[in-house]
A = this chain, B = another copy of it.
Amino acid sequence: MRQDGRSNTSTRQISITTDFMLHANGSALIKFGNTKVICTATVEERVPPFLKGSGRGWITSEYSMLPASTHVRKARESSRGQVEGRTQEIQRLIGRALRSVVNLDLLGERTIWIDCDVIQADGGTRTAAITGGFIALVSCINSMMARGLIKESPINNYIAAVSVGIYNGEEMLDLCYEEDSNAEVDMNIVMTDSNEFIELQGTAEGAPFSDESLKKLIAIGQAGIVGIIGIQKETLGDMNKLVMKWE
């Protein structure tokens, strides 16, 4: 049993609150246990230079942590004058993942900004951000369709993410900070509802890992994703305005 009583194949308690931000076009507050991330989607009526005149849209993401979200106060990147490497890696990952399930041609020449702001961090912030960012994105797309900005939903699949890892020699799902910071192996998995991979990033923090371990980690992750997409579906059902393309 893990320190919070979970089994190795269970996630922490996950909850998603939608549309609680007044000004964003879509929003979600997602919690994976003590990890809390505000995800918002905002539409901007222009695209990056490389897409000008193409008729295609773009989805980009920014990620940030409140200074008091971590155990030790984290200096603001705005005060330090630059965005650190870890942040850039994470926001590139979120943007890439969400773009992979959207038909950008159907968006029109506009950008959707997915902002993921970590209010409280206890491990797994990037996977929470992808999972919650997807909900904010769907909510934003739905409101664009309701306003007639786009006719057909450009979203063609669910997407969710979860971490897996090896801690104390055991493969386990959805590591909290305590587990994550002492893990031998740390892996993030992003998958669709068709049980296929969007992104797979595994790192040996201590010793290298075997083929065997890799297989176990992937299996645990795949099962975890199924559960998380289930929660997404419930959430979007609650919204009573899901108009995804494939349904």
Q: Enumerate chain A interface residues (CB-CB to B < 8 A).
A: 21-24, 27, 34, 38, 40, 42, 44, 62, 64, 66-71, 73, 76-79, 81-89, 91-92, 96, 100, 113, 115, 117, 119-122, 157, 187, 191-192, 194-204, 207-211, 214, 218
Q: Known: A70-B23, A73-B44, A83-B79. Contact between A200 and B201, CB under 8 A?
A: yes
Q: How far is the CB of A29 from chain B (nearest CB, A)?
A: 10
Apart from A73-B113, A200-B202, 19 more pairs, CB < 8 Å: A21-B68, A22-B120, A23-B69, A66-B115, A73-B115, A84-B88, A85-B88, A88-B88, A89-B89, A100-B204, A187-B200, A194-B208, A196-B207, A196-B208, A196-B210, A197-B209, A199-B202, A200-B201, A200-B214
Q: Is the CB of B67 within 8 A of A38?
A: no
Q: Which 6 A-B pairs have the closest CB atoms?
A: A85-B88, A196-B208, A77-B78, A40-B68, A24-B68, A42-B73
